[in-house]
A and B are shown apart, each in its own frame.
Chain A
């Protein structure tokens, strides 16, 4: 409903269509705390979402960070997600966040052409990570 906000789902669908038996794709409107239980079962977890600003595509490894956490069911940061996995499940998730900059978040069900291009770039990065070609500091 929010135009380029749907680019994460687009990327997820493209990855899912590849039917890689070693990859499970989950689509959700937001990061949820109950996803932790499943996330800790995987070697790598990649979160893909639209971003309102910043670089065109940002791919980063997530750790606990140092920010103060504000808990809300409407928002769960990747850092808090990582932190909770460590504290509750005693596991450091190999967690990555891929942010794709959107151009329009107005009401609408189409994605801007330039954002599709960014999505393809992010898919390449995801492939690289899945294939262990990339090392992130």
Chain B
């Protein structure tokens, strides 16, 4: 008799969801599905607004990646306005975007994922979290908090706000940077680098002790998408898109994000409000791809800064130059990116023009449509707006990173469930590994579905007739 297991809520992810595991008659995992039960309504809500409001409205979608929403939104507006942002305006945007990346990645690794690394998969689930981490590793918890604080402080010192920042506007940036704030941010750099290196050491130590598990954990082939600069360097703020396949073959390079509909399609699925995006030329489902830190490092030819480049080389060596397809490597990739973000922030703060007050360009509507794109912490983020003659939005499409990772998250759950779940009596360690497969992607369901309020996550085990055999609820 087939059986089905459901895990709900999935803990330590941004937002909540449900996992269903279906068992076959032999008690082995037959299928696994990751459900997002909330409706996405932000795009509809924005229709009827004036397009220039969007860089202020869309950061409210998410408290974790508001800057990426603001950047993609402002870029879409600037395409409508046909305006070019001044050099220093771009620098300040880059800086605040890096701050958000540091803050988000610090939270993901040190507070959401490191309990698994440091406390163990099979430890007591009631303390295998930030509280347990604080109890046993207070210094690491404190360092994680301060690294996140550094990222938030970049926002605060540039705009006066840590969350839902308002400084990014169509045409540039609202506030020039003051010298006192520049100096104060530079003082953070050594500590931030040291903390990130500690994080990398934690990952490497875990890897050395659990190499087989790390390599096999949710390891499957997909395409990878990320933004790169003209020389293939990893780029987070602005650039062109590159696709590689699971073996590193370049499928497309220097794709203009504004043409994203030419190469990305979405297909609705029955069990979730998150759709299944795919790379059009490869078709469905062969065109499933991943975005985010793992994909970005897999597509990139190099990093922009020395410390990150040195670690990037180690990363590439693990796959002998080929992409790493194991989902666990997301954590390593995230930390390498953090290293690069801190170095780049330092370089921007030392740019001679960073204190310039020439930070905004003014223009009005010059065409009806605009697309903006940036790399959010969780992956490539597109904003696409259509307006009427008065600049009122008639159509809004937001293609969010977590949505693009949806097929891979489902596949990850299936792979891990096959490896660790045997029958309907799910052991805690197996349950956490299934959840951890999702956590690798650091998904932001609040962001990708634009849910209001908390979503609890449930894991259910069903038999082949759809009857619930076991249900585990959390949160």
Contact = CB atoms under 8 A, between A and B. Distances in A.
Q: Do A and B come from one complex?
A: yes
Interface of A: 1, 28-30, 32-34, 36-37, 68-75, 80, 83-84, 87-90
A69 B149 CA distance: 21
B152 A87 contact: no
Contacts of A28: 162-163
B256 interface: no
A72 B318 CA distance: 31
Interface in B2-19: 9, 11-15
A70 B131 CA distance: 10
B134 A87 contact: yes
Contacts of A37: 145-146, 149
A32 to B, nearest CB: 7
Given A71-B111, A84-B134, A87-B134, A30 B14 contact: no
B13 A72 contact: yes
A75 B126 CA distance: 17
B146 A34 contact: yes
Contacts of B152: 32, 34
For the complex of A and B, 8 pairs with smallest distance between CB atoms: A87-B134, A34-B149, A71-B130, A70-B475, A88-B134, A88-B138, A71-B129, A29-B163
Interface string B112-131: 10000000000000100111
B60 interface: yes
A84 B131 contact: yes
A74 B138 contact: no
A74 B448 CA distance: 14
A32 B156 CA distance: 14
B145 A71 contact: no
Nearest to A26: B162
A52 to B, nearest CB: 9
Interface residues of B, number: 34
Contact of A88 (B60, B145, B149, B454): B145
Contacts of A88: 134, 138, 141-142, 145
Contacts of A84: 130-131, 134, 141
12 contacts: A1-B60, A32-B162, A33-B130, A33-B145, A34-B148, A34-B149, A71-B112, A71-B130, A72-B12, A87-B138, A88-B134, A88-B138
A1 to B, nearest CB: 7
Given A75-B454, A84-B130, A87-B131, A70 B163 contact: no
Given A29-B63, A34-B148, A34-B152, A71 B163 contact: no
B474 A29 contact: no
A30 B63 contact: yes
Contacts of A32: 152, 162-163
Nearest to A1: B60
